[in-house]
Amino acid sequence: KQGGEAPGWEVSEAMLLRAVDELFEDYGLSERTHARLREHYTARQVMDLMAIQGAYVILAAMINTWDLELDATTQEKLPADITREQFEREYPRTPRKG
């Protein structure tokens, strides 16, 4: 949960994590984060990052709306300690009313 602040990340990798956090929280990048990303990535790569992050938001919405389960092949690729139950405990959802 430390994201880009965790030790061991290259600066460029830490910036990617920071950017994804901002996109998730603010639906956009701050001028500072955008400028720092551009020190390591092209404009096209930054746009790709935004598109990929958006695709995962859409995927999460579909999974949550229809309460979809991971297929066996995908589940097998995850580390043993990554389970739906563990994930839901760590990242609980607050259902919308209505």
What digits encode the pLDDT tens for the residues 32-89?
Answer: 999 999 999 999 999 999 999 999 999 989 988 898 888 889 888 988 888 888 888 8
Q: Domain tally for the chain?
A: 1
- Structural domain contains residue 72: no
Under 8 Å CB-to-CB from 95, ≥6 apart: which residues?
Answer: none
Domain that holds residue 34: 3-67
- Structural domain contains residue 75: no
**What is the pTM (predicted TM-score) of this model?**
0.75
- Structural domain contains residue 98: no
Q: What integer is the mean pLDDT of 82-97? A: 79
- Structural domain contains residue 58: yes
- Structural domain contains residue 22: yes
- Structural domain contains residue 60: yes
